[in-house]
Amino acid sequence: MAVVSQQWVQRRPVWLRDTQVFRRRAVTFIQRAFTYIVLIDIAFVFLVPIFYILATSLKTAQDLTDPTIVWIPSGFFWINYPLAFLAMNYPRSLSNSLWISLGSAFGQTVSCAFVGYGFARIRFPGRDLLFALVLFTFLVPPQTIIVPLFILYKNLGWINSYNPFIVPSFFGHGLKGALFVVVFRQFFKTQPWELEEAARIDGASAFATWWRIMLPMSTAAIVVVFLFSVVWHWNDFFEPFIYLNRMEHFTLPMRLSVLSPSLDQVTGGQAGDLFNEALVMAAVFLVILPPLAIYMFTQRFFVESIDRTGLVE
Amino acid sequence: MKMRVTRKEPQLAVAGAGVGDTAATAPVRRRRRMTLSVQRTLEGYFFVSPWVLGFIVFLAWPLFQSFFLSFHELQATSLSDLKFRGIDNYKEAFFIDARFLPRLRDTLQQNLLDVPVIMIFSLFSAILANQKIKGVMGFRAVFFLPLVIGSAQVIQQLFSQGVGGAVLSRGVNVQELAFQYLGPDAASGVEQLLNRLLFVLWKTGVQMLIFLAGLNSVSPVLYEAARVDGATDWDRFWKVTLPLLSPVILVNLVYTIVDSFTDTFNQVLQYIQQTAFAGGFRLGYAASLGWIYFAIVFIILATVVRVTNRYVFYAGERNS
């Protein structure tokens, strides 16, 4: 026994032989463990609602009232999904949502890149004042100007169309347009001057310089702005409810608020029996599914956007 | 910024003079230099013109109109029937309407609570997500989830089913504990806090992104230097990270305030919407409420920026 322990004492790893090394490693280990625990905790806060949506959407009416069933439903009760699909008129609302969010995102990306370049790279009198106005735009709550805008769009005959969302976005406005102008300005400011100067010396116009030199260089910023714009428009709620008031024009999230009556319509007055929390959660899942799918494929850009766009410089 | 421009100007002047100009005499060259600066100005206006046009049509003019409307009576049912009311709309908001001021107070109170929570939590999680450890990218991906699916409707559905405080306080009756040890006032406060906490945490995506970008831009050299001087992690946070991050904190603070005050669940905004579109149809009164609210938000922001700006540390070049 004594021999064995003697051998072990000689051959034990460094961190057991040296108290200082041991202390340092112990501290690092505890710090690491603590960091992971907190990270997992925070991730839990964000993941739990998704698990909750999924679990609840698969429950039967009995499961919902059973207090012992929280996370795992008694069976795979998927019938809520086709019901929610029908009640929301999914193909139609999906296409509405896609038109509004993709159209506005495209408009905002192009226009904000254009305007942001002007603010970042060209000196002209009044630039700083105009940029202050951009920031000011961001501060105005949409509710303050919604009444005149509503009257304007009504006079233009744009109510119940996608125009109130898409047209302003092509002018660098619309939902959080000012923020995107700022993002592009910050991005262009961090780019090297050399390429641009070379293009100008070779006689390229300002527009050509932007279009052929700067824009191809700014994939990172373009992707980030486009994704954020899509997601925010997808989730937007206030303005669609003002400008769209016929069910056939509703976006997906808007459909959630009229789920019960439209289910009644679809099933011919049986909503009383079929409508429950599980059905609502199935509908919720169908609403978040497209952005979730987009995020799965593009999360790399969100996560790396930090290093790439120079958002803070 | 200044450096770059002074370096750039002469080069461009040469470039401009050289472009397609074979018989350039001295006076002509001077004229061309003039046109060059005019040309730059025109280019500048060319680039920002879409935004300016949009600003006039979609913001400045509606803002002015809403200001104009706020002194008038206008029913959504008959848009041509405009009656002047003077400051009666404003008087009504402050002295007659029993629903506006309590909502305003609630909103202010709630945001006073929410904004610090959002700021601290997002800074905390950004610092964690910035650690150089394995799997951190996966955590970042999860942390940005609220950005993607944080639809107002979705959240509302979740919270109406009680996914709020229940998730956070699972197994522990925090309310009762608070009641026993801290008294009834604290208990209701704790309850409110818990119910709002998850909701608030779901609004930290953008702030965390901005903080992460800020943390990324802090030069590692400074940390190195601090370590050599024997600073602990704690010291480094307070004496390196925080001062260098202070401009980012200001940006985030402004963003958070704007974001919380324009939130869809905001009671004042819901009330304005109701007044204008659902049931009320009183466009003039809604406009005046909108202006009161905007003025208050603006004053709060201006105060916050002024006060905070005093503590913001701009390191040399970063202040461009």
User: What is the 3-state composition of chain B as percent helix, strand, coil, each rounded to the nearest 5?
Assistant: 75, 5, 20
Looking at the complex, report in whole angstroms how far the Cα of residue B55 sits from the nearest Cα belonging to chain A. Answer: 7
Residue in A closest to B4 by C-alpha: A193
pLDDT tens-digit map of B235-278: 888 888 888 888 888 888 988 998 888 877 788 888 888 888 77
Portion 199-218 of A in contact with B at CB < 8 A: 200-201, 203, 206-207, 210
- B183 Ramachandran zone, left/alpha/beta (phi>0; psi -120 to 50): left
Q: Which domains are present in chain A?
A: 2-57 (no CATH), 80-309 (1.10.3720.10)
CA distance A299 to A302: 5
Are A195 and A215 within 8 A, CB to CB?
A: no
* A62 exposure class (CB count in 10 Å sphere: 0-12, 13-18, 19+): exposed
Looking at the complex, report in whole angstroms how far the Cα of residue B67 sits from the nearest Cα belonging to chain A. Answer: 9
CA distance A286 to A265: 19
Residues of chain B with pLDDT under 50: 1-26, 28, 171, 316-320
Are B241 and B131 within 8 A, CB to CB?
A: no
Convert A69-90 to b/e letters by CB count within 10 Å (16 or more is b). Answer: beeebeeebeebbebbbebbbb
Q: Smallest Cα–Cα separation from A172: which of B56, B148, B66?
A: B56
CA distance A109 to A246: 29
From first to last of the 313 residues of chain A, give the pLDDT tens digit: 566 677 777 777 777 777 888 888 888 889 888 889 888 888 887 888 888 888 888 888 777 777 677 677 777 888 889 888 988 899 999 999 999 999 999 999 999 999 999 999 898 999 999 999 998 998 888 888 888 898 899 889 999 999 999 999 999 998 889 999 998 998 888 888 888 888 888 888 889 999 998 999 888 889 888 988 998 899 887 888 889 988 889 998 888 888 888 888 877 777 677 778 888 888 888 988 998 888 888 877 777 766 655 555 4
For chain B, give the mean pLDDT.
Answer: 77
CA distance A56 to B103: 34
Nearest Cβ partner for B51 among A181, A253, A287? A181
Residue in A closest to B256 by C-alpha: A139
- Give the C-alpha distances (Å, rounded to integers) separating B184 from B174, B179, B181, B194, B206: 13, 5, 9, 15, 36
pLDDT value at residue B2: 41
**Residues in chain A closer than 8 A to B251 (CB atoms):** 312
Rg (CA), chain B: 27
Are A197 and B11 within 8 A, CB to CB?
A: yes
